[in-house]
Amino acid sequence: MLQMRKLSKVYRTHLIETHALRGFDIHVREGEFVAVTGPSGSGKTTFLNIAGLLEEFTDGEYLIDGVPVRGLDDNARSRLRNEKIGFIFQGFNMIPDLNLFDNVDVPLRYRGFKAPERKARIEHALERVGLASRMKHYPAELSGGQQQRVAIARALAGDPRLLLADEPTGNLDSAMARGVMELLEEINAQGTTIVMVTHDPELAQRAQRNVHIIDGQVSDLEHVTPLARVAARGAEAAVA
C-alpha cells in the first residue's frame, strides 16, 4: 500500500541544512494498522506529510498503491490524495463556518461526486461515527472527541484505502481517546490501512505493527512489540 525506499528529506535554508529523513525505508501492507512512534523532532510528522503527499521528498522512492509519486504534478498528487488517502489531525482541523455535513462534503466535492451520492456518503460516514443526528451542527458546538469523529467521518467519506492519523488523540482526554481509538480499530478491521503517528505507547501497543523513528531513520525496533520496546529501552538505559 505504502512503500518508501531510501527516502530522504532535507530542509535547506541559506545557512543550514536539516536532514529530516535519511535512508528511510518502510513498507506498509494493505490492511495493516501501523503505529509510528519516536521522539519529538525525529521525523514522524515529516514522514506522514510525505506519505500524504503534502510535502515533496528530496531523494529516494515512494510508491503509493504501486504508483511512484516522484515527479507527479500538483493535479495528480491532489487527485491521489483525494481518492486514496484520508487524513486525521491532532487539531481536528474542521472548517469552523461549515456545519458537519458541509465539512464532510469537502473532499467529496473535489472528487466530483453528484449531489445525491455525496449526500448518501456524508450521511453514511456520519452514521458510522455516531453523529448522523448532528449533521447541521457546527464544529464549535461539539466536544473535541466529537470533532475528531467528524474528522474521521470526513476522512472516510471518500472510501480511502489509506488513513493517515497524526496524533489523533493528542488533544483528547483518555475516555474520548479510547473511543476514537476503538473507532480507528473498527475502521481498520473493515479493511482500511491505517498509519498513525503517536507519542502514546499505549495507543501504539494497540496497533498491529510499530515503526520507531529516530533521527529521520526507521530504527531496528520496527518489528518489536511496543511493550518489548519499552523494556528494551529500559535495559539500554540500565546499560548506559
72 touches another protein (CB under 8 A): no
Cα–Cα distance between 119 and 68 in angstroms, integer? 33
65 touches another protein (CB under 8 A): no
User: Which residues in 111-130 contact another protein (CB under 8 A)?
Assistant: 111
- Smallest distance from the beta carbon of 224 to another protein, in angstroms? 28
223 touches another protein (CB under 8 A): no
Q: For another protein, which is the closer residue by CB, 95 or 235?
A: 95
Q: Kindly state the number of chain residues that form the binding site for another protein, as judged by CB under 8 A.
A: 26
Cα–Cα nearest to 92, from 178, 168, 196: 168
User: Which residues in 128-167 contact another protein (CB under 8 A)?
Assistant: 154, 158, 166
Q: Which residues contact 214 (CB under 8 A, 6 or more apart)?
A: 38, 39, 42
Choosing from 5, 70, 109, 136, the residue that interacts with another protein (CB under 8 A) is 109
- Smallest distance from the beta carbon of 49 to another protein, in angstroms? 4
Other C-beta atoms lying within 10 Å of the C-beta of residue 50? 23
- Smallest distance from the beta carbon of 160 to another protein, in angstroms? 10
Choosing from 29, 30, 39, 97, the residue that interacts with another protein (CB under 8 A) is 97
**Cα torsion angle, 159, 5, 76, 88, sign:** positive
Contact indicator for 109, 118 with CB cutoff of 8 Å: yes
Per-residue exposure over 12-22, b if at least 16 CB sit within 10 Å of its own CB, e if not: eeeeeeeebbb
The three-point CA angle 17-81-95 to 5° equals 95
Of the CA atoms within 13 Å of residue 10, those in its CB half-sphere come to 10
SS3 64: strand
Task: Tally the residues of the chain.
Answer: 240
91 touches another protein (CB under 8 A): yes
Q: For another protein, which is the closer residue by CB, 51 or 211?
A: 51
- Smallest distance from the beta carbon of 133 to another protein, in angstroms? 23
Choosing from 38, 107, 145, 216, the residue that interacts with another protein (CB under 8 A) is 107
Q: Which residues bind another protein (CB under 8 A)?
A: 45, 49, 52, 54-55, 74-75, 78-79, 81-83, 87, 89, 91, 93, 95, 97, 106-107, 109-111, 154, 158, 166
